[in-house]
Amino acid sequence: MLQIVLCDDNIDELSYMVQLLNQYSSSKHLDFKHTLFHNGFELISALDKGKRFDIYCLDIMMPGFTGIDVANEIRSYDKTAPILFFTSSSEFALESYPVKAVNYVLKPITKEKLFFTFDDLLEQIKVKKAEDAIVVKSNDGIQRVLISNIVFAEVIGRNVLYHLISGRTIECTESFSTVCNNLLKYGCFLKTHRSYLVNMQYIDTVDNQRVTLQTLDTVPIAQGKAKEIKQQYLNYQMEEE
């Protein structure tokens, strides 16, 4: 099920978007769940509390806290989830570039526009999912895990635990060296300690003793490695810009 955010201060526009998305999901036999927000403050408050979504659909022209402002805040929590802008004005098109919006659709939104936009978006998501995933043998069986869903991995005794953004933990009996080989090749993981791998897209802060994640989990930094860890994280951030 795809978790989709619709954020617009206009109640009629929200209602219309829900109708179109319901038509789209029915025609494509897809399972969508809509979460509606009437302003950006409500959405960011939900993210502060740990909520995460697969796709963000934002109106730009909202009072007080524009869609661009909201998108910038979203990117501090989630660097990869697709952001779609729906607006009646094209003047913000250039401002949408730094937040890596996947599309910018002018109102009025028609069925044709929305269907075309979501066809393209879901194809991108499908390709990304096909590429960025690992298969693990967990205690519950063989599972396919998206790289973007892994917040961090740790080894405890003979078990490796994958901590996911959903709050779920997958426990496996595999060597941590194998886990490191599988994950480090993706470029977004950082080994902070002999027992921990962190997905850098979820890092909130790095100090001399620990890494604090956006999920509020903390991961230790091996003694003497703080400078190296900070530099690697800085390099990652610069590459993402």
* Same domain assignment for residues 149 and 234: yes
Tally of CA atoms within 13 A in the half-sphere of 7 that contains its CB: 30
CB neighbour list of residue 141: distance below 8 Å, 6 or more residues apart? none
If asked whether residues 34 and 150 sit together in one domain, one would say no
Mean pLDDT, range 181-209, rounded to an integer = 93
Quote the number of domains for the chain.
Answer: 2
Q: Are residues 103 and 214 in the same domain?
A: no
Q: List, for residues 130-177, the tens digit of each pLDDT value.
A: 567 888 888 778 888 889 899 999 999 989 999 998 889 999 988 999
Same domain, 12 and 99: yes
Which phi and psi angles does 162 have, rounded to 5°?
-95, 120
Per-residue pLDDT at 97 exceeds 50: no
What's the pLDDT at 125? 75
Is residue 138 located within the same domain as residue 123? no
**Of 15 and 51, more confident:** 15
Q: Are residues 31 and 77 in the same domain?
A: yes
* pTM metric for this prediction: 0.56
- Looking at the structure, tell me whether residues 226 and 168 fall in a common domain: yes
Looking at 77, 107, 131, which one is the last position of a domain? 131
Question: How far is 44 from 75, CA to CA, in rounded Å?
Answer: 11
Tokens of 6: 């619709």
**Closest by alpha carbon to 87, among 3, 4, 18, 10?**
10
- Point out the domain boundary residue: 131, 158, 193: 131
The pLDDT of residue 223: 94
pLDDT bracket for residue 240 (50, 70, 90): low
Model confidence at 77, pLDDT cuts 50, 70, 90, reads confident
Do 222 and 110 sit in the same domain of this protein? no
Report the distance separating Cα 45 and Cα 224, nearest Å.
Answer: 37
Is 144 in contact with 51 (CB distance < 8 Å)?
no
* Pairing mode, strands 133-138 and 141-146: antiparallel
Say what the pLDDT of residue 16 is. 94
Domain range for 46:
2-131
Residues 176 and 126 in one domain: no
What CATH number does the domain containing 222 carry? 2.40.50.1020
Q: Tally DSSP H helices, then E strands, for the chain.
A: 6, 15
Q: Could you tell me where the DSSP H helices lie in the chain? A: 11-28, 40-48, 67-77, 111-131, 176-184, 226-240
Which distant-in-sequence residues (6+ apart) come within 8 Å of 237 by Cβ? 200
In this structure, the answer to whether residues 195 and 213 fall within a common structural domain is yes
Quick check: 171 and 161 in contact, CB under 8 A? Answer: yes
In single-letter form, the type of residue at position 9 comes to: D
Where residue 122 falls among pLDDT bands split at 50, 70, 90? confident
Q: Are residues 121 and 143 in the same domain?
A: no
Are residues 188 and 72 part of one domain? no
Query: Which region holds residue 225: left if phi is over 0, alpha if psi is between -120 and 50, else beta?
Result: alpha
pLDDT tens per residue, range 7-49: 999 999 999 999 999 999 999 888 888 999 999 999 999 988 8
CATH code of residue 77 = 3.40.50.2300
Task: Please identify, among 72, 105, 131, the residue that sits at the C-terminal boundary of a domain.
Answer: 131
CB neighbourhood size of 22 (10 A): 12
